[in-house]
């Protein structure tokens, strides 16, 4: 009996779920180039696409037992994992603070976005208004608008309830608006 390509992929994933490293190697050899292309289309950087592909295949190895051929094709299942990993990497990249400063990435923690804003035209007004906020509101606003974190991510990072974080941000933004309009 000759297996078609979908059946071969299904069989490789079943073997991977059973811990067959050779099957995983065959799966990687057969599918990595195609899925690297998918990651590259999303990320537009070779190294980022390679990292996303590596993360995806690690997840494929770990989660092969969750693949169900009755729910869809193996290729679609693989593509969804690669796509998710690439989108996740793209989201992390968007959260990075980008500057014109050629300082090495190790020094990124020394970068003060509020001080950089103050150096810009009208930035001193915003810095003064931010300085007038309660520390907790200012910190939550900076995490949201400078670091790009969601309310839920902020709540988790500072270990406060989600409603509290939302209230701090809402009150802080209202105070900023009032200060800037004055």
CA nearest neighbour of 96 among 84, 108, 81, 107 = 108
In 10 A of CB 37, how many CB atoms? 13
Q: Three-class SS string for 75-144? A: HHHHHHHHHHHHHHHHHHHHHCCCCCCCCCHHHHHHCCHHHHHHHCCCHHHHHHHHHCCCHHHHHHHHHH
- The mean pLDDT value for 11-40 works out to 92
pLDDT at 164: 94
Domains and CATH numbers, the chain: 5-95 (1.10.1740.10), 105-181 (1.10.10.10)
Tokens representing residue 33 in the block:
């180039």
| Cα angle: 11, vertex 15, 17; to 5 degrees | 115
The mean per-residue pLDDT over the stretch 30-58 comes to: 89
- Residue 1: pLDDT band with limits 50, 70, 90: low
Higher pLDDT, 87 or 105: 87
Residue with more model confidence, 82 or 94: 82
pTM of structure:
0.51
Structure token pair of residue 28: 């990687």
For 64-74, what is each residue's pLDDT tens digit? 999 988 888 88
The answer to whether residues 53 and 39 touch, using CB atoms and an 8 Å cutoff, is: yes
What is the per-residue pLDDT for 114? 52
């Amino acid at each position: 009996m000759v297996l078609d390509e979908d059946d071969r992929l299904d069989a490789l994933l079943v073997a991977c779920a059973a811990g067959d490293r050779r099957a995983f190697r065959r799966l990687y050899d057969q599918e990595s180039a195609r899925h690297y292309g998918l990651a590259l289309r999303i990320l537009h950087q070779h190294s980022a696409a390679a990292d996303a592909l590596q993360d995806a295949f690690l997840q494929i190895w770990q989660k092969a037992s969750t693949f169900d051929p009755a729910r869809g094709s193996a290729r679609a299942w693989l593509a969804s994992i690669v796509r998710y990993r690439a989108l996740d990497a793209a989201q992390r990249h968007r959260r990075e603070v980008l500057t014109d400063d050629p300082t090495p990435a190790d020094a990124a923690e020394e970068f003060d976005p509020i001080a950089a804003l103050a150096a810009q035209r009208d930035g001193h007004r915003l810095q003064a208004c931010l300085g007038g906020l309660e520390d907790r509101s200012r910190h939550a606003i900076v995490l949201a608008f400078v670091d790009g974190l969601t309310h839920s991510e902020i709540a988790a990072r500072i270990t406060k309830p989600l409603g509290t974080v939302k209230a701090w941000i809402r009150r802080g933004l209202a105070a900023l608006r009032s200060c800037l309009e004055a």
